[in-house]
Amino acid sequence: MKTVTSFSLFGGALALSNQKVDIVAQQQPLLQNACPSNSILHNGECQLSTYDTSSTITLGYQSNISHITQTLEDSRETASRIKDFPWNFSPECFSTEATEEPYCVFSDQNFASGRGIFIITTKTLAYAMLEKDAFTRPETLSRMNHFENPPFYKHDFPGKGRGLVANKTLQRGDQLFASTPILITDPDLYDLPNSERLALMHRGIETLPVASQRVFWELMGHTDDDPIDDRINTNNFEIAIDGVSQSALFPEIAMLNHDCRPNAAYFFDEETLTHYIHAIKPIYPGEEITITYTNNEEERSERMRRLEKNWGFKCACSTCTAHPHLVEESDARLKHIAALQKVLDDWTPASSATPAVAELLISLMQQERLEASLSIGYKHAAEVYSSFGMKWEAVKYAKLSVELSMLDKGWTDRDVWEMKKMGENPEMSWSWQKRVGLVAKSAGCGCGGRH
């Protein structure tokens, strides 16, 4: 994220789908000051942390350290002497005046059946992660990190680099990856002097199990910077854990290239710390599997600018390279899509939202081949039909929205939950008949005159 420190949350390979941008926009302040230093935040409450603060390990949490204090073996030895210590190495830490809590590297080599993980963040946030199912119920990870016999192969595209190509037909909903990160880093690490930030990263890599170190070094960077920093910055993903933005690295998916109209979607499940990728439309043998690195509802020039700045490549997707006349039409559709969503989000009495507006929105998204965005288009349609008391149309679009949102936002997402409820019982939803009175007053809604 070095190249974009001016807005560090969006930097690096912060591959954000349109909905994920919202998470970052509504981001809460870091939780580091939310609890006293001897406790951690759990389910919104401060609880005493489980490790023994009286032991020698407190040394590892001291913030007045200008260099790594222990050799790798010494720090392993120190950690092993402490009863029930959750990490394999004594954490090395740095802090500045700007940071109340030091940033430390926490490493667990046994995570995810020996795949391992290291986390560079504050103690508060690292121990909050320890409370997730991924750590407390390792059996929930039994389905993750199965990379053998995949439905694709690696291919070298001239002038573009490596990519993954399907070797069997994939249908919407087919899972491509379910992977846990080998590392998580706090975007606020940039508060530290560069040398200290890099020292933590280098120590982190050293603590990974050998197999995970190997997949890390197979990654490609795109600058002449520090080789570890560059690989992380080029390949990491923005995730949110308990509303706090973090960067995570899932090396196996790094070979997925960007497309403005991708055929696969991803989401991050916080409880299992798992990044899922599924096909969102049929993918045929010989077709490259793609995801988006950026917000595809932005106009071409903006997409190109971001991709060049953050990943160092010229966007070559079909909508970036199309004839200027086609680009102009595509950009016009994207503007129209944004405008229609504003109309549909208007719940004041002056709103001009009608089912016809939602149908147009869906049609434009289909023309633009914005598959993942359609989950939002369908949600708008479900809500507007519900607001006019049209039950079965609301149910239909709620179901369509759930199917796609589960692949793009994950099964625990709030929108998914809301649309599931709507699909079961629209009459109980907050939007039900909200606009019925308005129709009677105005000339009609163009929605079939059901009332």
Which residues contact ligand NAG (rule: CB under 6 A)?
64, 149-150, 153, 167-168
Q: How far is the CB of 262 from ligand NAG (least distance, A)?
A: 20
CA distance 283 to 266: 15
For residue 367, the Cα-to-chain-centroid distance in whole angstroms is 26
Q: How far is the CB of 90 from ligand NAG (least distance, A)?
A: 16
Q: How far is the CB of 274 from ligand NAG (least distance, A)?
A: 21
Q: Which two tokens stand for residue 255?
A: 């070979």
Residue 100 or 424 having the CB closest to ligand NAG: 100
Q: How far is the CB of 105 from ligand NAG (least distance, A)?
A: 19
Residue 252 or 393 having the CB closest to ligand NAG: 252
| Secondary structure in 3-state letters for 326-344 | HHHHHHHHHHHHHHHHHHH
Residue 244 or 255 having the CB closest to ligand NAG: 255
- Burial per residue of 261-282, b for 16 or more beta-carbon CB atoms within 10 angstroms, e otherwise: bbbbbbbbbbebbbbbbbbbee
Q: Are 93 and 104 in contact (CB under 8 A)?
A: yes
CA distance 219 to 178: 18
Residue 254 CB partners (closer than 8 Å, separation 6+): 219, 220, 234, 235
Query: How large is the angle between the packed helices 194-207 and 72-80, nearest 10 degrees?
Result: 70
Residue 54 or 149 having the CB closest to ligand NAG: 149
Residue 155 or 336 having the CB closest to ligand NAG: 155
Q: How far is the CB of 153 from ligand NAG (least distance, A)?
A: 4
CA distance 341 to 346: 9
Q: What are phi and psi of 350, to 5 degrees?
A: -80, 0
Residue 67 or 441 having the CB closest to ligand NAG: 67
CA distance 283 to 157: 18
Residue 210 CB partners (closer than 8 Å, separation 6+): none
Q: What are phi and psi of 443, to 5 degrees?
A: -75, -10
Residue 437 CB partners (closer than 8 Å, separation 6+): none
Q: How far is the CB of 285 from ligand NAG (least distance, A)?
A: 8
Residue 168 or 335 having the CB closest to ligand NAG: 168
Q: Which two tokens stand for residue 9?
A: 């949350």
CA distance 259 to 315: 8
Q: How far is the CB of 169 from ligand NAG (least distance, A)?
A: 10
Q: Which two tokens stand for residue 215?
A: 């997949």
Give the SS3 label for residue 387: helix
Q: Are 209 and 115 in contact (CB under 8 A)?
A: yes
Q: How far is the CB of 183 from ligand NAG (least distance, A)?
A: 25
CA distance 52 to 394: 54
Residue with tokens 């147009």: 360
Nearest to 34 by CA among 45, 24, 50: 45
Residue 265 CB partners (closer than 8 Å, separation 6+): 17, 277, 278, 280, 291, 371, 372, 407, 408
Residue with tokens 């499940």: 269
Q: How far is the CB of 238 from ligand NAG (least distance, A)?
A: 28
Q: How far is the CB of 67 from ligand NAG (least distance, A)?
A: 11
Q: Which two tokens stand for residue 164?
A: 């993954």
